């Protein structure tokens, strides 16, 4: 389908990120099972719940736009999650695997930060302020999730990994 | 190959981002040709040159680590670039396509921000301060490239796209 207006582009990108969020909800529980650090496990469990809320928020966005709730296959997230799964498989349970999991989840977060940043800006430029506000809430959650992962990486998890380096 | 230490993980991720940078250098010229906005074209041309410098910087990192200069297929970047190429194909030349190109390039930048942030932290935790410093320089370049794209998105390109929304 040709995308000819900023509104159509907004809808296409919302469909992309909706599929991306669904991929995350499918994959994250399996990743969480492989985490050793209780702090990291708890942060990812919290983010899984947050992600479910973000999906509901996107459903509100579809409704406000008068569009069907429907994703469009997100190749970017598929590649990021495949790379993460392979990298996790290359490690045994422990601090190094936890460091891989943090890196993989930060790639996921950053994909979302880029995507939500764009759709928030486009919605705002189209004067769809209520849509822009919903997307801004999620954008801030993704930014906070990324910061939390950086904090964990810089403290416990990787310092322990260093011990066995 | 099993990754058992933080140093091995650092090398694996450096190989991943080296391949990612090479993919970008292959794809970006074709993307730049499809841009209409002179401001966006010039920003991406500058970033292409910067990316070539980042590849040289990674080669210095390999040397400092005593490792062969060799990439490892980066599935994440492949997915992001494929998604971008498909989205660009769905548009005709003009403001909406320029907005798609910005979004796609910001996803590329954010992948790199996540990856360079991790390897910088790991190098630093391993006491490899000269490696960490090289990676920090690139991390800052990627952050600035992303901010520049946001500025362009928030000013000329998308405002014009709005006119035809």
Please name which of B114, B117, B142 lies closest in space to residue B132, comparing C-alpha atoms: B117
The pLDDT score that the predictor gives to residue A1 is 72
Name the DSSP letter for residue B157. Answer: I
Write the pLDDT tens digit of every residue in A40-62. Answer: 999 999 999 999 999 999 999 99
The pLDDT score that the predictor gives to residue A162 is 59
Beta carbons of A96 and B5 less than 8 angstroms apart: yes
Write the pLDDT tens digit of every residue in B26-65. Answer: 999 999 999 999 999 999 999 999 999 999 999 999 999 9
The pLDDT score that the predictor gives to residue B160 is 57
Distance between CA atoms of A79 and B26, rounded to whole angstroms?
18
Distance between CA atoms of A157 and A151, rounded to whole angstroms?
10
Q: Looking at the partner chain, which of B87, B121, B161 has a beta carbon nearest the beta carbon of A154?
A: B121
Q: Which residue of B has its CA nearest to A103?
A: B118
CA angle B2, B6, B12 (to 5 degrees): 55
Distance between CA atoms of A116 and B150, rounded to whole angstroms?
12
**Does the beta-carbon distance from B111 to A115 stay under 8 Å?**
no
The ipTM (two decimal places) reads 0.94
CA distance A52 to chain B (A): 22
The pLDDT score that the predictor gives to residue A64 is 98
Percent of chain B exceeding pLDDT 70 equals 94
**Average predicted confidence (pLDDT) for chain B:** 94
Q: What is the mean pLDDT of residues A123-143?
A: 97
The pLDDT score that the predictor gives to residue A10 is 98
The pLDDT score that the predictor gives to residue A23 is 98
Q: Looking at the partner chain, which of B9, B80, B96 has a beta carbon nearest the beta carbon of A9?
A: B96
Tell whether B152 lies on the interface with A, counting CB pairs under 8 A: no
Beta carbons of B40 and B157 less than 8 angstroms apart: yes
Please name which of A117, A18, A80, A126 lies closest in space to residue B103, comparing C-alpha atoms: A117
Write the pLDDT tens digit of every residue in B72-97. Answer: 999 999 999 999 999 999 999 999 99
Q: Which residues of B touch A91 (CB under 8 A)?
A: 2-4, 9
Helix ranges restricted to H, B68-128 = 75-89, 95-125
Give SS3 for B10: helix
Res. B133: pLDDT tops 70: yes
**A window 80-139, beta carbon within 8 A of B:** 80, 82-84, 86-87, 90-92, 95-96, 99-100, 102-103, 106-107, 109-111, 113-115, 117-118, 121-122, 125-126
Res. A160: pLDDT tops 60: no
Q: Looking at the partner chain, which of B79, B126, B158 has a beta carbon nearest the beta carbon of A76?
A: B79
Which pLDDT band, with edges at 50, 70 and 90, does B164 fall under? low
Tell whether B23 lies on the interface with A, counting CB pairs under 8 A: no
């Amino acid at each position: 389908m040709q995308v000819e207006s900023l509104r159509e582009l907004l809808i296409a990108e919302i469909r992309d990120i909706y599929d991306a969020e669904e991929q995350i909800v499918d994959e994250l529980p399996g990743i969480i099972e492989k985490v050793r650090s209780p702090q990291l496990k708890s942060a990812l469990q919290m983010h899984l719940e947050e992600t479910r809320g973000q999906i509901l928020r996107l459903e509100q966005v579809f409704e406000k736009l008068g569009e069907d709730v429907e994703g469009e296959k997100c190749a970017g997230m598929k590649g990021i999650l495949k790379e993460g799964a392979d990298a996790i498989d290359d490690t045994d349970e422990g601090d190094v695997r936890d460091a891989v999991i943090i890196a993989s989840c930060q790639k996921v977060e950053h994909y979302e930060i880029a995507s939500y940043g764009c759709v928030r800006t486009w919605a705002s430029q189209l004067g769809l302020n209520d849509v822009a506000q919903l997307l801004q809430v999620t954008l801030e959650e993704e930014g906070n999730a990324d910061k939390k992962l950086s904090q964990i990486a810089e403290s416990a998890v990787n310092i322990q990994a260093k011990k066995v380096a």
